[in-house]
Amino acid sequence: MSVAVDEFDTTPLSFVKHEIEVALTRADEGLAAFSANPEKHEELTSTALPPLHQVSGVLRMIGLEPAGRVAKAIEALVDGLSRDDVAGGATVVPTAQNAIKSLTQYLDALMRGEPNRPLVLFPAYRSVSMTIGSEKVSEVDLFYPDLRQSPEFLDGVPPPEGVELTKFITVKRTEFQRALLNLLRGTDYVKSLGVMSNVLSAIDSVSPAGRRVFWWAAAGYFGGLAASATGPDVFQKQLCGRIDLQIKRQLEGVAAAPEGLLRELLLAIAYMPTTVARVGEIQDIYRLTTLLPVAETAEATRVKLFANNIKEQVEAAKDAWAGFTSGGLNQSNLEQFAKQTAQLNELARNFNNAPLQGLFAKLAEVGQSLTAKPRDPGEALALETATALLVARDALDSYAKPDPDFERLADTVVQLVSAALDGRQQPGNSAVALADISWAARERQLFFQLGQEILTSLHRIEEALDGFFRDPGTRASLAEVPGLVNKVQGALAIVENDDAVRVLKTAKKLVEKFAASSGAPDPTDTELTADIFSNLGPFALAMQQGRDNPNELLQPVMARCRGASELTLTLD
């Protein structure tokens, strides 16, 4: 199994990202319920375990083996908790929840285009593994260089005439073991490592092509150890012993070194300085250093935490704005939006980023203006403000690696919001062209984010409706649905998809009808409602993935909505 690093293809992940997110959320909720009531083990067996098992399998299926291992470890911890086999019981629930959070952040980072570095998951993986009593936890478990990049070798040259290959390797192994013994005794480690490196080079030179990559890399490993200013540590000495065992296996006719041992060897080489040419060559071929986590400075960590805090407030402002513009101009939503944007404007002054500060200042101005003079914001201001919030959220996601076009994009967005706020005509072609240039670079990521928000809200809507359809006595569960529908409608307004908005309005009318009635819902209405939301999900996924003409997926349900006489006006 190999894991690509540069230019990670997010397409397979994008197909299942929403399902993974929903599953991890369910698992987290099950853990929270168990933590609140440790006697209710069913919260683990029925709510937390199944989605974790699903996530583990899906991640491995799409080639994210290390992430799948982390999910599997969390699953093992939850399984142990369900059977009272884990010391500490419910007190270790935060360990599982923190690992779920780390896994979610890792997948989100991949979708944002960040490098695929599974080792960032190792602290969470180690905590979970140690909690369940694993005796051996190693970074190797999450280290998967692309072994397809291995150089091709020709068959080695046979030993000198009259010398059998087996006898040749036996002699060389004796030399290797003698040097290894001196190394373990601490006797002239540089000389011992040099002997061992020469032995492996000799074995490499006579080995068949399929076996040579391991010996070539192992010789480089010993060369790197010999060049070090300090002697080998315990891990490095243990690896030397495992290489000795691999020489023995070659004598026994084993075809090639196990992949796990090669990965372990490459991990050790990844951490070595490139003072030895072979070490640098191996690092370059497998791009080993790109797989290592990048250490953050204390300041970078502080900024990251600060940005995450602001992102949460941006999300709250987005929800309030969606509720205001799509929910009958509810003043409480407007007041919440004004409060959030005013706070964001203050917080943004701590960033050394003038374009981002300008964006938040303009959003605060929108809140102040509409609060001071209550009015219908109109379609233009509703759309441009929602877009500005999305751009701000995206900028915070990539704050550590700002987009070179962000300054121009932020300036254009501010101009568009200003024009809409003042009731002026939108800026001319030059500004629009500027926006198009910048937007093109961000479109895929922004559409993914929008699609993710829509899919998450649709999932919650469907859960509420499913509960009501099964038991109409749970009508109170419909209370949150209008707000979620408004959130979806606001997101769809950003992409200006009128067909989807019309279908959603039909669904909203149906939900309002359910909530207002006292008896069982009309089966025709429940069928139509279920049909609408089951079609909106695939539509949102297609939009998220940038497929051509996703609206085609809505045509059958739109026809059904037009056929519903009481709701015909919604689609006219």
Q: DSSP per residue over 40-74, as a string?
A: -THIIIIIIHHHHHHHHHHHHHTT-HHHHHHHHHH
Cα 73 from chain centre? 17
The residue among 222, 162, 165 whose CA lies nearest residue 192 is 222
Q: Which CATH architecture has domain 298-427?
A: Up-down Bundle (1.20)
Q: Which residue has the tokens 């200003």?
A: 418
Tokens 């390797």, located at residue:
169
Q: Which amino acid is at 466?
A: D
In this prediction, residue 162 carries a pLDDT of: 55
Distance CA 50, CA 43 (A): 11
Q: Where would I find the H helices in 287-353?
A: 298-326, 331-348
- Domain residue extents for the chain: 11-143, 165-291, 298-427, 447-571
- For the chain, report the end-to-end CA distance as a whole number of angstroms: 54
Q: What is the pLDDT of residue 299?
A: 60
* Torsion angles phi and psi, residue 375, rounded to 5: -165, 165
Q: Is 287 helix (H, G, I), strand (E, B) or coil?
A: coil
* pLDDT tens for the chain, residues 1 to 572: 444 445 577 778 877 888 898 899 999 999 999 998 888 888 788 889 999 999 999 999 988 999 999 999 999 999 999 988 888 888 899 999 999 999 998 998 888 778 899 999 999 999 999 999 888 889 999 999 998 888 888 777 776 655 677 888 899 999 999 999 998 888 788 899 999 999 999 988 888 887 888 999 999 999 999 888 788 888 889 999 999 999 998 888 776 788 999 999 999 999 999 888 999 999 999 999 999 987 666 666 666 677 777 888 888 888 888 888 866 677 888 999 999 999 999 988 877 788 889 999 999 999 999 999 988 888 788 878 888 888 888 788 776 666 677 788 888 889 889 988 988 876 654 444 444 444 444 555 566 667 777 888 888 888 888 888 888 878 887 888 888 888 787 777 766 677 888 888 888 888 888 888 877 888 888 888 888 888 888 888 777 666 667 788 888 888 887 766 454 434 44
CB-based contact 119:9 (threshold 8 Å): no
Cα angle: 165, vertex 170, 174; to 5 degrees: 150
Cβ-count burial of 141 within 10 angstroms (0-12 exposed, 13-18 middle, 19+ buried)? buried
Options 3.40.1130, 1.10.1740, 1.20.120, 2.60.40; CATH for 447-571 is: 1.20.120
Q: ∠ at Cα 149 (143, 151), nearest 5°?
A: 125
Q: What is the pLDDT of residue 567?
A: 47
What is the structure's pLDDT at 517?
82
Indicate the angle between helix axes 259-270 and 234-251, nearest 10 degrees.
Answer: 140
Indicate the DSSP class of residue 256: S
What are the angstrom distances between the C-alpha of 274 and each of 121, 237, 271, 390, 522? 26, 20, 9, 43, 73
Q: What is the pLDDT of residue 569?
A: 37
Contacts of 76 (CB under 8 A, 6+ apart): 128, 132
Burial 347-382 (b: 16+ CB within 10 A, else e): bbeebebebbbbbbebbbbbbebbeeeeeebeebbb
- Residue 140 CA to residue 231 CA, distance in Å, equals 22
What angle do the packed helices 406-422 and 354-372 form, to 10 degrees? Answer: 10
CATH homologous superfamily for 11-143?
A: HPT domain (1.20.120.160)
Q: What is the pLDDT of residue 568?
A: 42
For residues 557 and 547, the answer to whether their CB atoms sit within 8 Å is no
What is the token pair recorded at 501? 């908005």
Q: Do domains 11-143 and 447-571 have the same CATH topology?
A: yes
Q: Which residue has the tokens 């026809």?
A: 559
